[in-house]
Structure 1
Amino acid sequence: MVRTRFAPSPTGYLHLGGARTALYSWAFARKHGGQFILRIEDTDLERSTQASVQAILDGMTWLGLAWDEGPYYQMQRLDRYREVAEELIRAGHAYYCYASKEELEALREAQRARGEKPRYDGRWRPENARGKTPPGVEPVVRFRNPDEGEVVFEDLVKGLITVSNSELDDLVILRADGVPTYNFGVIVDDLDMRITHVIRGDDHVNNTPRQINMLRALGAPLPKYAHVPMILGADGERLSKRHGAVSVLQYRDDGYFPEALLNYLARLGWSHGDDEIFTMEQFVEWFDLEHISRSPARFDPGKLRWLNGEHLRRMSPQALAARLARERPEVFARIERAMDVVAMTAAVQASITLLSELATLLLAFAEPPAPDRALGDQHLSGQGREVLGELLERLRAAQWTPEGVKRAAQEVMAARSLKMPQVMMPLRVAVTGREKTPDIVAIVAALKREVVLERIERIVATR
């Protein structure tokens, strides 16, 4: 069975790069009828926080990337890491190292002075260690990397990768406090969780040869590796907050839809012909690792917003209004007192791109500001006020539908030999407090009759 995993470190929010990695791992498992595992790699004790853990879980839940197992936490598995480290020591593949921080820093400084690449020199390998262990030093455990040969593996995105073992030194796998380092925790977890495919960012490519050597030392099967290129900003630099990349939960709060964000992330480094807009069901059906680009993708906030608008406009007004009620309940409660929310949503849907824009616009129609003096003088005095007075009487008796509202306006136009703007502009300003809106007939009909009449009455009585 295909088993993939997403293994974030809880040192911050779930960002776009992490969300895309999770999406690809989730989709690959779903495509092959497999399982998707969530693992929290919380061994960075100084930077890991429970708030970050919760932000990751909330982000995954909002995106709809449901996991089949987990979340597992590395800090709850310390005994297991110690057990595997001892197994490696017994087999001669790992050893205790008593070198102090000061000793290692002096070693690196000397190597740099000679123009060499700083690296551990193997001084505590069993064949090199001399004398008794120093008192008062808690040892770390180092993996004894092979001296000769190469690590060769077929990356499912990048192709064949070869690394000489002479380029790799003996890395620390277990710290003195018993907490595993990244590379060791990963291989133990991937082994125990029976991970078949490791899909992750290509900043981990250099870690892979080390992990393969450790798995081989344990006589363990190797997962297949797929390293996905980074996401860059429009300037070609690594994606960061200054490019508009924030927590996925911020996109939720800004009014984006999870399916639109996933659609965008899916296309950010992967393609299926010319298809731009698709559902997650279609993505799972189409997804493969062969069509992941080897080149970094570039994040375009404008394209994401456009795509969200396309998803929004493909929803029914009923579904969009229901989402507004679910995600902005406090705002929805204020809106529905003044209008038929579904009808108003249908009236404005073509003009918005975000759920937050819908909330803001509908709230403005539900609780409009008083028209400013300039608008009032232009549209709500003289002829405009007289038009509203006559329209008011016709609206009292009109059928409360777009057709009924339009008919009432046309009757005033005919009676006074006016053009459409001479009736609709006073109506628009009186009802909404603004000069520009989507189709004012649809908006008036979507508002409750008593709300519209009260607003017009107030203008007619006071001006």
Structure 2
Amino acid sequence: MPHLSSRFNKTRIAPTPSGYLHVGNVLSFAVTALLARKSGAKTLLRIDDLDQPRVNKLYLQDIFDTLNFLEIPWDEGPRNLQEFEAGYSQLHRMPLYMQALNQLADERLVFACSCSRSRLDAGDECLCFDKQIALSSENTSWRLLTTNNNDIQVKGYSGNIIKTTLPEGMHNFVVRKKDGFPAYQLTSVIDDLFFGVDLVVRGEDLWPSTLAQHLLANVLGENNFADVTFYHHPLLMEAGKKISKSSGAVSIRYLRESGKKPTDIYIMIAGMLGIKDPINNWEELAGRVIMEVKL
């Protein structure tokens, strides 16, 4: 498929090594790769591995095995586990994350929170801001103050500008976890800026994260983030729920070991999306998903 004139510099595939990759991940990878090809962007493989207790070398290796087995291309980033550990792990970028966290602390834009996730999930209100807990306290996370919830503008793939505000469920979101490691929202912003990503492709379920990351970039003074284009693709569903890494029967590793070929997997994904046209590879699958996008 020929390139159109280049519209973007770089996009990224950004899996987390917390389980074996599944068909939902593959759909996202395929859509990312095709949008990159159509718009002249390079594709970076960025593996988000800061959730260290859940990182497993088997899961890391599975990322490379899955991409290679399904012939989904990427242009930059590690080609194997050794290259990833030597130069691409997020652990190498910890100074950048800590610089951003220190900036937020110095400008008094964060507060310490001792609430447990189970308590908040149960609907309890977080009152930690009123308690003025010291940021240096042990077993506390840091939350971004989002009381001044200004309008957020997101640039869509078709060039449209979406104006909205942070959803209530994302108010005062976590930027540093209780273990002292930076949280996903912060690392994702810093990484995209560090690598020069200007096209982000992700599932519809991550729309709240897109808004949170725009707000965070704004308060950090990273105005270039507003120029990043976002495309949110539909999700694969199973029994009415989003597929997760606990769904072992749809992991690529399981399907591969069961004798499935790449074409079989792409046909399976197409069927889950209600696509009845013949599908032979990742390009045809992604093409059906994004056919309504204005290029």
Deviation at 1:20, TM superposition (A): 0.8
* 1:220 lines up with 2:224 in the alignment: yes
Q: Name which one, 1 or 2, has greater alpha-carbon Rg.
A: 1
Tell me which of 57, 63, 66 is aligned to 2:70. 63
Instruction: Report the 3-state secondary structure (helix = DSSP H, G, I; strand = E; otherwise coil) of the residue aligned with 2:260.
Output: coil
Instruction: Report the 3-state secondary structure (helix = DSSP H, G, I; strand = E; otherwise coil) of the residue aligned with 1:199.
Output: strand
Distance 2:21 2:188 in 1: 19
Report the equivalent of 1:87: 103
Distance 2:245 2:190 in 1: 33
Report the equivalent of 1:75: 91
Report the equivalent of 1:173: 175
Is contact 1:120-1:169 (8 Å) kept? Answer: no
Distance 2:195 2:38 in 1: 19
Question: Residues 154 and 290 of structure 1: is their aligned pair in 2 closer, same or farther, counting only changes over 3 Å?
Answer: farther
Distance 1:215 1:69 in 2: 24
Report the equivalent of 1:50: 57
Larger proportion of helix:
1
Distance 1:134 1:80 in 2: 19
Is contact 1:4-1:196 (8 Å) kept? Answer: yes
Question: Residues 164 and 281 of structure 1: is their aligned pair in 2 closer, same or farther, counting only changes over 3 Å?
Answer: closer
Report the equivalent of 1:31: 38
Tell me which of 236, 239, 259 is aligned to 2:240. 236
TM-score by length of structure 1 reads 0.50
Deviation at 1:13, TM superposition (A): 0.4
Per-residue CA shift, 1:119-162, capped at 9, x if unaligned?
Answer: 455337xxxx49xx498647644323252433343555999462
Report the equivalent of 1:162: 164
Is contact 1:201-1:228 (8 Å) kept? Answer: yes
TM-score by length of structure 2 reads 0.75
Deviation at 1:263, TM superposition (A): 5.4
Deviation at 1:216, TM superposition (A): 1.6
Higher relative contact order (CA 8 A, sep 6+): 2
Question: Residues 25 and 241 of structure 1: is their aligned pair in 2 closer, same or farther, counting only changes over 3 Å?
Answer: closer
Query: Which residue identity is paired with 1:73?
Result: S
Distance 1:31 1:215 in 2: 28
Per-residue CA shift, 1:167-204, capped at 9, x if unaligned?
Answer: 64322312354411111111111111122222112221
Query: Which residue identity is paired with 1:188?
Result: I
Report the equivalent of 1:17: 24
5+ unaligned residues in a row in structure 1: which ranges? Answer: 293-463
Is contact 2:12-2:46 (8 Å) kept? Answer: yes
Deviation at 1:207, TM superposition (A): 1.7
Instruction: Report the 3-state secondary structure (helix = DSSP H, G, I; strand = E; otherwise coil) of the residue aligned with 2:206.
Output: helix
Report the equivalent of 1:144: 145
Is contact 1:155-1:161 (8 Å) kept? Answer: no
Per-residue CA shift, 1:96-131, capped at 9, x if unaligned?
Answer: 53x5x3xx36xx68xx8xxx762455337xxxx49x
Question: Residues 68 and 123 of structure 1: is their aligned pair in 2 closer, same or farther, counting only changes over 3 Å?
Answer: farther
Q: Matched residues, percent identical?
A: 25
Instruction: Report the 3-state secondary structure (helix = DSSP H, G, I; strand = E; otherwise coil) of the residue aligned with 2:53.
Output: coil
Question: Residues 267 and 25 of structure 1: is their aligned pair in 2 closer, same or farther, counting only changes over 3 Å?
Answer: farther
Distance 1:291 1:182 in 2: 30
Distance 2:289 2:39 in 1: 10
Report the equivalent of 2:81: none
Is contact 1:3-1:36 (8 Å) kept? Answer: yes
1:240-279 paired onto structure 2 within 5 Å:
245-262=249-266, 264-265=268-269, 269=273, 275-279=277-281
Distance 2:110 2:46 in 1: 28
Bigger Cα displacement from structure 2, 148-157 vs 244-253: 148-157
5+ unaligned residues in a row in structure 2: which ranges? Answer: 1-7, 79-87
Deviation at 1:67, TM superposition (A): 1.8
Bigger Cα displacement from structure 2, 245-254 vs 31-40: 245-254
Is contact 2:263-2:279 (8 Å) kept? Answer: no
* Aligned residue-pair number: 272
RMSD over aligned CA atoms reads 3.8
